[in-house]
Structure 1
C-alpha cells in the first residue's frame, strides 16, 4: 500500500522530518554510549598505570617489568583518547547535520522547494565512514536523498579503513605518564634506596600473566567499540 502511495503522492515532509530526526537522535545516543565506555576504559587504564608504578616502588625487583607495563598501558591510553576525540568530533558533525536538516526543511516549507546542501553532504560523507555509525548513517543519507537535501553519493560514500598508529611516539608516552603519575608518584621504574627483597618463585610470571590479561581485556573493549 505504501509503495502504491509513493507512486501517486510525494513523500510527506513532516514524516521525512520525523524520520531524519529519529535517525540523528539514534546516532547521537550511540555516540554518547561509546564515548562513555571509552571514558571508563581510560579511567581503568590510568588505574593500571598507577598500580604498576606503586608496585615498582614497593618491590624494586619488579621495577623493570612495571616500567614496561606502564608504557604499554600508556600507549593503549593514547589510542583510547584518540578514538574518544574522533567520536566527539563526529558528534559535533552530527549536531551540525541536525541543525542544517531542520533549516533545510524549514526553507522548503516557506519557499516550496529545497536545494541540495553541500555542507550536509560533506558531513554525512564523513560520518558514514565511521564504523560505529555506518549502518544508520547510510539509512539517514538515503532519507536525505529522498528529501532532496543531499545528492546521492556514489562510490565515495564507501567507508574507508580508519588509519591507526600502531606505535605511539615515545615522547607522547612520556608525556602521558608524566601527566598521570606526576611527581608524587615518582618516576616510572625508579628504584627507591632500600634493600632488595627476595623475589618469590613464580611471582613475576603471575604478574606478567595478570598484566597481559588486563591488556587483552582493554583491547577487546576498544575493538568492540570500533566494530
Structure 2
C-alpha cells in the first residue's frame, strides 16, 4: 500500500532538511574562502600589485553573490517545508469529515444519462441553434 500523506510529508521534509544542511555547509566553506581572500587582498594591496588586487576583489564579489544565492535557495526550501506542513494540517482537519460527506453526497451526482454533458434541459443546448 502507498504511504499515507503524513508519512510522505515527513519523508519530504526530512530530505528538505538534509538539503538545508548541505547548503549550510557550503555557506560555511564559502565564508572561510572569503576570509582567506580578504587576507590575501590585504597582503597584495600592501605590496601594491593592482592587477592581483583586482582579481581578488572580483573573486570576493563572486563568492558573495554565490553565498547570497545559497541563502535564497535555503529560504525557498524552508518555505516549501512550511507549506508542506501547513497543507498537511489542513488535510488533517478536513480528512476526518470527508468519508461522511462522500457517503451523504453519493446521490447528488445522479445526472440524466444524455451523452455525459451534464444536466440536459429541453430549452438549452450547448451550440448554435439549427432550425
TM-score, with length taken from structure 1: 0.41
> 2:52 aligned to 69, 79, 85, which one?
69
**What residue is the counterpart of 1:26 in the other structure?**
18
Alpha-carbon distance in 2 for matches of 1:16, 1:84: 31
- Structure 2 residue 80 is the aligned partner of structure 1 residue 97: yes
- 1:105-136 alpha-carbon deviations (Å, 9 max, x no partner): 111111129xxxxxxxxxxxxxxxxxxxxxxx
The 3-state SS of whatever aligns with 2:87 is helix
Runs of 4+ in 1 over 6 A off after TM superposition: none
**Cα offset, 1:12, TM superposition:** 1.5
Give me the whole-angstrom Cα distance separating, in 2, the residues matched to 1:16 and 1:77. Answer: 41
Pick aligned residue for 2:64 from 81, 101, 123: 81
Rounded to whole Å, the distance in 2 between the matches of 1:72 and 1:85 is 20
Residue of structure 1 equivalent to 2:4? 12
Counterpart residue number, 1:109: 92
In structure 1, C-alpha distance between the alignment counterparts of 2:80 and 2:6, rounded to whole Å: 17
Shift of 1:14: 2.4
* TM-score normalised by length of structure 2: 0.69
Mark the runs of 5 or more structure 1 residues left unpaired by the alignment.
57-65, 114-227
The total of aligned residue pairs comes to 96
Q: Which residue of 1 aligns with 2:115?
A: none
Asked which structure has the greater CA Rg, the reply is: 2
Kindly state the Cα deviation for residue 22 of structure 1 after the two structures are TM-superposed.
0.7
Question: In the alignment, what sits opposite 1:43?
Answer: 35
Q: Distance in 2 between matches of 1:101 and 1:14?
A: 10
The structural deviation recorded for 1:95 is 1.0
Distance in 1 separating the partners of 2:47 and 2:89 = 61
> 2:113 is matched with which residue?
none
**1:101, CA displacement in angstroms?**
0.5
